[in-house]
Chain A
Amino acid sequence: MEKEWADLNWEEKREKRFQRWLSPDVKFISPEAEKLYKERVTRFTKAIKLEEPDRVPVMLPTGNSPAYWGGGNLRTLMYDYPKTREIWIKYMEAFGDMDVYDAPAFVPSGKISEVIRSRMMKLPGLGLPDDAPMYQFVEGEYMKADEYDLMMMDPTDYNLRVMLPRSSPFFEPFQRLLPFRSLMDSSWVSILANPEIHNMFQVMMGLTEEHNKMIAANMELNGYIQTHGYPTLLGGGPLLGAPFDNFGDALRGTHGIFLDMYRQPEKVHEAMDWYVKLTVEGTIKNFPMTANPICLMPLHKGDDTFMSDKQFAEFYWPPLRAILVALVNEGLVPMPFAEGRYNRRLKEIADTPRSGVMWWFDQTDMKEAKRVLGDVCCIMGNVPTSTIATGTPDQIRDNCRRLIEDCAPGGGYILGGGASVDNGKFENFKAMMDAAKEYGVYKK
């Protein structure tokens, strides 16, 4: 009899999720495509398990580069879904062999963004020049220093009535809502029927067609790509971050959270503990079986330059570790993305279950990373984005060769970029792929 999910250990759970990733419920265009798909997924799962695959797997940091290669830009992706599809498929066909390939990720719909204007995010044509290659996050104290308790006491209430109206003028009518916990009789009927709130919902409903169109286009494209034999590392697990960043990025901002570390450190701890519990119990526990188990976790304020070792040890790492361990225990594979540099954090972050976590590094010294972390975690990175954007294929090949020499021995390494490249040269991505094949084959 098959064991119940709850009775499996984390490795067994992960194996089930890996199986699902390896054998998706799709109809491949050819047996050849299916074979390639399985080889590629296996390459990653072996690297994650710190085993030696046939060769070093590559996650090409192509990002939004296909858009530019095809004569478009970020706005094309935001507005023109058919054109996006056309370019993306052409790019895939022109490129040929890749270990992963995805439809555009994290691109907001232009039409919806025009209506639901965000104070937190600038986009091409919406606060940034039309040809801007990336969006820009606008930090602010969206949550005030004395609001930790308010948020923890009734988080949904806080998000709807306080955060949304602050982060977008569109949601300002929500300020009129009363806390649901104290609503009596029919008072909420009148409030929900308020013309401004009613209108807000009507506008959102009017946008659903656009929303559906974008989601359907994205899903269709990802499906198309998959049936052609390309796996993805995205979109499987929950999108999470470090608890410290949850407060430091969008809510309190860098300025606010750093004052809090001195002025009300115990509040920051209390809030992070609360957030960990909420996330573990609400999101991670019993996470459904999805297309792949990888959880991308972009990390920000824990970088070498943002805080001291002491602060990292006190504020950043313990709650982050709690999230990582919870993900691992659910059979998921957390992939923290250490933006910036983590040279001084390596020893500390090695304290997780062996082969449970895979780290994606940006500017961290990979040789050191391999030395300190290599026995515990699969590591990925870190061809510099600058070289991919401006360097030559020879420089790329050289860089990849050195990375493979430093990191590949014994398995547990994925060749990747320091970050996704918005406008990287086609030939440089090609050179990365070639280098993996040339230098990254494991001899049996």
Chain B
Amino acid sequence: MFTRSNDWAKLTWQQKRDLRLEKWINGEGIKFDSPEAEKNYKARATRLAKAVKMEIPDRVPCAVPTGWFPAMNAGITLKEALYDPEKMKWAWLKFVDEYDSDTFDGTIFFQAPISEILGDRTMKWPGHGLPDDSHSAYQYVESEYMKADEYDLFMKDPFDFQLRRYLPRAMKAFEPFADVPSFSSYEGLPHRLMAMCQDPRFQKFLKAIQEASKHVPVLQKASFETSQAAYAKGFPAFRGGLAVAPFDAFADNLRGTHGMVLDMYRQPEKIHEAMEFVLPQLLNGAISMADMTDCPVIMMPLHKGDDTFMSNKQFETFYWPTFKRLLLSMVEEGLIPFPVAEGAYNNRLEYISDMPKSSVIWMFDQTDMANAKKTVGKVSCIAGNIPASIAYTGTAKEMKENCRKLIETCAPGGGYILSGGSTFDMAKPENLHAMMDAAKEYGVYK
């Protein structure tokens, strides 16, 4: 748990970040397997920290984009990994033992047994809408979980919105709440609660909650133990928490792409108002996660800001301003935002270059890395973008070659992390090894 010094408010953001990084690099509380593991852990974390700060590390850090690869590697299905925490733990640690990487990407944070019991409609996963042997661990099901006229409710009575609108739509178990009268006025509230309890479906809801809750400690324990074991073996977490862009908070989970695009034309001011509303919540969430995990890096998967989803005008009107403010506020607290630009960001490079130097890491998927290095790469550490196609279908030689080119293009002067454009769920094992080989062979700074 990160605790702030008394003079925290007086520190610059760099000083705050360095205090957080120091705590992370030191790995306090980790019971390392050996002095060697501890040495490796610190070397890896230092390498990553230097890259982030755009200093010159010993070599280019290499973050193998693990994804669900450990399941395939261990010969278990994703369904097994999702439903059997012990098997998951075994498979993930097997991966850690067999593959070198400068990071440990964490375990499965999606809790399938719980989602299953609660009847989650927002996701499909192996065994629940996807084939048992599917290679995609989950598929998000977009829908208008929030209706066009519910922005006000979302902002003015958030609990009410969650309880009576969102959850009944998103989860079957919560359906009875759709018919419960509002709790927004205190007058007569105990009676309304009584009335709610009369619905026989409510009994079912409580049963589902009881049932689901039994899985919580089991899943948490397996996940915690796996991570601790990986740290103990010398692999640092490079993800202290998760946050999203304010626009995506609505476009992904609440309004869906279709709804959100209509809103951009029909009620643009509501989107702006709502993004302002969630901004402080996203910030506070990120801060508390980073505090809890002692790792200041906040991963931010980005979706609707990609080149093809919206025009530059829309990006600069809707996507970037609140997102930028969120990034800056995180930086101000000593956090390191780690936006993952899924898709391509070739048209956005100029916008995202407008940030304090070395405050953010940008992970690129299909963006042109040479352009990225010339623009945003001047102010921010960049990471990526080995194509998943090469990892899945290429030879080790092709893989190594691709990495070499990336290193030549992006590594000079520091500020580059070798990684994939997305996760390598179905990679050939030799290609993951080739990645690290390339980093060691071509990425050493003289």
Contact = CB atoms under 8 A, between A and B. Distances in A.
Interface string B279-296: 001001100000000000
Interface string A258-301: 00000000000000000000110011000000000000000000
Contacts of A186: 111, 114, 212, 216, 219
Contacts of A211: 194-195, 198
A273 to B, nearest CB: 13
B410 to A, nearest CB: 34
B158 A159 contact: no
B354 to A, nearest CB: 30
A205 B197 contact: yes
Contacts of A234: none
Interface in A170-205: 171, 179-186, 189-190, 192-193, 198, 201-202, 204-205
B120 to A, nearest CB: 11
Given A184-B285, A193-B210, A250 B187 contact: yes
B94 to A, nearest CB: 26
A366 B215 CA distance: 68
B162 interface: yes
A205 B202 CA distance: 9
Contacts of B157: 154-156, 278
A204 B189 contact: no
B111 A278 contact: no
A160 interface: yes
Contacts of A207: 194, 197
B158 A180 contact: yes
A233 interface: no
Contact of B114 (A179, A180, A189): A189
* Chain A binding surface SS class: helix
B160 A155 contact: yes
B276 to A, nearest CB: 14
Given A186-B212, A192-B209, A180 B185 contact: no
Interface in A39-90: none
B2 interface: no
Size range of the chain A interface in the assembly: 35 or more
Contact of A192 (B158, B185, B195, B213): B213
B187 A246 contact: yes
Contacts of B158: 154, 156-157, 179-181
A164 interface: yes
Given A155-B160, A186-B212, A190-B213, A208 B197 contact: yes
Interface in B350-386: none
Nearest to A108: B191
B183 A208 contact: no
Contact of A189 (B109, B163, B213, B281): B213
A186 B209 CA distance: 10
B186 interface: yes
B281 A181 contact: yes
A118 B185 CA distance: 17
B159 interface: yes
A155 B184 contact: yes
A186 B216 CA distance: 7
B281 A159 contact: no
Contacts of B285: 182, 184
Contacts of B202: 201, 205
Interface string B108-134: 010100100010000000000000000
Contacts of A154: 157-159
B197 to A, nearest CB: 4
Contacts of A338: none
Contacts of A217: none
14 contacts: A157-B158, A159-B183, A164-B189, A171-B190, A179-B158, A179-B159, A186-B111, A189-B114, A189-B213, A201-B197, A201-B202, A205-B202, A208-B198, A278-B157
Interface of B: 109, 111, 114, 118, 156-160, 162-163, 182-190, 193-195, 197-198, 202-203, 206, 209-210, 212-213, 216, 219, 281, 284-285
Given A211-B195, A282-B185, 5 more contacts: A154-B158, A156-B182, A159-B185, A189-B213, A193-B209
User: Which 3 residue pairs are nearest across A and B when measured between Cβ atoms?
Assistant: A193-B213, A157-B159, A156-B159
